[in-house]
Amino acid sequence: MDVEIIETKEMYRGFFRLFKVLLRYRRFDGQMSGTIALEALERGEGVAIILYDPLKDYVGLVQQFRIGAHLRENKGWVIELAAGSCQGHADVKAVALKEVREETGWSPSVLEHVNTFYISPSGTTERIHLFLGIFDSKIPPSATGVREEEEDIRTLCLPFQEVLDMMVRGEINAASVILGMQWLQLNREALRRRFLAP
């Protein structure tokens, strides 16, 4: 489909950038649309890691303060997958490994790319690279985030079914966890066969 960018204007620059874009695009009927003004938040690329112990059937998660959740419903302490920003780094797998180590202290024995998805393509450019990280839940977590960034992270290690139950009760409502757990639910038995094979 054809898209004609008429003007791009930066409206804000901070940790994120906000752009206002004037454009036209070819509609499904073949005609060009009128000029449309859209806004897009430039967030770059990120990683999120499903930490799974197939032997114990446990999932590793993190909990930390998130301003968006706090402003929306005064519930800022969000349970999430270990995650982080790529900040221009091309090697997303290396970023995923770094983020897991910084946020939890765990070092996955296996780290595999699962999928790449847009968080909210109607208003942000952010893409998330989702990884599976196989870890040993018997090893206690040893990290709580990067002090220089004022990160304060609590690490959680929970049975797979308990995480699903928390999602059903609305105690876990971050999109990355929901997507990651749904992927894990579809692939869990195959993963257990693969990693528990003698």
Task: Kindly list the catalytic residues.
Answer: 149
Alpha-carbon distance of 133 to 51, in angstroms, equals 5
Collapse the DSSP code of 41 into the 3-class scheme (helix H, G, I; strand E, B; otherwise coil) and give the result: strand
Alpha-carbon distance of 155 to 63, in angstroms, equals 6
Burial 23-59 (b: 16+ CB within 10 A, else e): eeeeeeeeeeeeeeeeebbebebbbbbbbbbbeeebb
Do 196 and 54 meet the contact criterion of CB atoms below 8 Å apart?
A: yes
Q: Give the type of residue at 182.
A: Q
